[in-house]
Amino acid sequence: MNQMNFQKELEKLLEGLSTMPENLGGEAGCEPPRLFLHSCCAPCSSYVLEYLCPYFSITVFYYNPNISASEEYRKRVEEQKRLIAAYNEERKGYPIRVVEGDYEPERFWAVAEGYEDCPEGGERCFRCFAMRLGKTAERASAEGYDYFGTTLTISPLKNAAKLNEIGLALAGKYGVAWLPSDFKKKDGYKRSIELSARYELYRQDYCGCAFSKAERDALRSQNV
């Protein structure tokens, strides 16, 4: 699994798809494939949506129970909606929809139980990925999407191989195709920073959970 180049796998898939025709509709019977895309935040989704919306009819699924503070959650989800509205107004590609999942932080605490002392990027994070992607796959299957995927692989701090491993396992379970990705490749992460600046997006400096916030605060205190 770790030897697979997921960016190249994605590029191969996109080569087989047609890009959006200028009239946004295309010929009858040539509708784009439908992608149910989990998004962790607006900044990470900025490049991913720009990259994929000429190929897919995308529904962004904002489902992040790991965000511990409700005010932080609301700030992030509103930024996600604002970015998508801007992209649709600019007609960057096929129109993008957004669906907000339930905000249920108790689910995160349940999967984190017993893993409180794990370092960031370890098993606790993997369990969190599986929770979020599991809900994404379940809904994608139930609603008849062609693919499901996530923006999480754009982060240099996230384990893209593990995310793809989880996604592929869920694809088998729910019978919906996984969109392979390593969006940080090809300067994807750099482009997300540029787009975040252009749209003046709120860029958080921790994943959202109480554990990553505590780690961030500890690092800040050391640098004072």
Instruction: Cite the beta strand spans of 126-193 per DSSP E.
Output: 147-150, 177-178
pLDDT of the residue at 67:
96
pLDDT of the residue at 28:
43
**Among the listed residues 133, 194, 136, the one whose alpha carbon sits nearest the alpha carbon of residue 159:** 133
Say if residue 224's pLDDT is above 60: no
pLDDT bin (cut points 50, 70, 90) of residue 27 is very low
Measured from the Cβ of residue 219, the count of other Cβ atoms closer than 10 Å reads 11
Q: Which two tokens stand for residue 82?
A: 């604002």
Say if residue 116's pLDDT is above 80: yes
Average pLDDT for residues 5-22, to the nearest whole number?
90
Report the C-alpha gap between 218 and 221 in whole angstroms.
5
**Among the listed residues 29, 32, 30, the one whose alpha carbon sits nearest the alpha carbon of residue 57:** 32
Rounded to two decimals, what is the model's pTM?
Answer: 0.93
Helix, coil or strand: residue 175: coil
pLDDT in tens, 37-83: 999 999 999 999 999 999 999 999 999 999 999 999 999 999 999 99
Contact 179, 35 (CB under 8 A): yes
Say if residue 23's pLDDT is above 60: no
pLDDT of the residue at 22:
62
Q: What is the mean pLDDT of the chain?
A: 93
